[in-house]
Amino acid sequence: MSQHPRPSRLAAATLALALSTGAAGAHYGMIIPTTPMLGQKDGRSVGLTLSFSHPFELDGMVLEMPEAFSVTHEGETTDLTGDLVEATVMGQPGYTLDYPIARPGTYVFAMTPQPYWEPADDAFITHYTKTYVSAFGEDEGWDIELGLKTEIVPISKPFGLWAGNVFQGTVLFDGAPSPFAEVEVEFYNEEGTATVPSELMVTQTIKADEEGIFTYATPAAGWWGFAALTTAEEPMMFEGEEKDHELGAVIWVRFEEWG
C-alpha cells in the first residue's frame, strides 16, 4: 500500500504559529450582540460587546473609550457612550452594554472609535462599526443610512439570513457610493474551532462594483464582518510625521444554521 505524503503536521503547526502571532488576519472594529433577532421569549434587553480585534484568530487589541456609541431606532438616534461598561474582550480592554429594548423594530448600533495607532501598518485606523438587532418580530428600518463618514448600507436585510445566503451592501464614503471599494471579509471564530488551509483564507477580499455594491456568500453560520477600507485624504500626525489614516466601514452580520 502506497503511502501518501501527509501534508501536514509541520504545515499545520507552521500555520497555527503564524495565526497565533496575529499576522494573518485583518483588524476589525466589532460590535457583537447576544442575538440579532430578539424574540419576546428572549427577554427585554440585548447584550452588546465592543472590541477591536482580529476576529478569526481571537486576537484582541486595545479599544479605548469610543468617541461615540449610539443606537438608532425609528429614525431617532440616542447616544449610549456614557453607558458603556469596561470589560476584557479577547484579552484586551473593550466594552459591554446591556441595552433594554422597549419596543419592536430594528435597532442599529454604531461605534465611532478613537483612531488606533498601528505600528505594524505605520498608520492610524478608525473603523466605523455597525450591527443590527431586530426586536419582537418587526424589521423595519434595517436599510437606513446613518450618515457616518463611511459606512456599509445593507441591501440584504442584515439579520434573518441563512448560512450560504449572499450578503449585499453598498459602500458609502461621505454619503456617496464608493466605486470598486475593497471589502475584507472575516469570520468571527467565536468557538475557536474554524480552521483554514492557508492563512490567505483568514481574510477574504472582494471588490465592490462601479456603484459601490458588493456581494459575498458565506460558507458557514456565525458572525461575519465586512470591512470596506479607504485611506483618508488627510493624514494624521505621529511623533512629528504624517501617517496614513485607514478608514473602515464595518458591518457585522449573523448567518443562521439551516434547519
Partner 1 sequence: MTQTFEHLARGFRALLIALALGFAASGAHAHGLNVFAFVENGEVVVEARFSSGRVPTEGTVRIYDDADILVATMALSEDGALRFPLTGAARESGLRIEVDAGSGHRDYWLLTPADIAAGLDASG
Least distance (Å) from partner 1 to the CB of residue 103?
A: 7
Nearer to partner 1, 104 or 235 (CB): 104
**Residue (48 or 202) nearer to partner 1, CB:** 48
Residue 37, all three cell numbers: 433577532
Residue closest to 23 by CA, chosen among 127, 121, 123:
121
Residues that bind partner 1 (CB under 8 A): 34, 40-47, 98, 102-104, 136-140
Least distance from C-beta 37 to partner 1, angstroms? 11
Distance of CA 12 to the CA centre of its chain: 27
Measured distance CA(164)–CA(97) in Å, rounded = 30
Query: Toward partner 1, which CB reaches closer, 60 or 105?
Result: 105
What is the nearest approach in angstroms of partner 1 to the Cβ of residue 46? 7
Residues in the chain, total: 259
We find the least distance from the C-beta atom of residue 32 to partner 1, in angstroms, to be: 13
Centre a 10 Å sphere on the Cβ of residue 229 and count the other Cβ atoms it contains.
Answer: 20
State the sign of the Cα–Cα–Cα–Cα dihedral 153, 156, 24, 211.
Answer: negative
CA–CA distance, 19 with 199 (Å, rounded to integer): 7
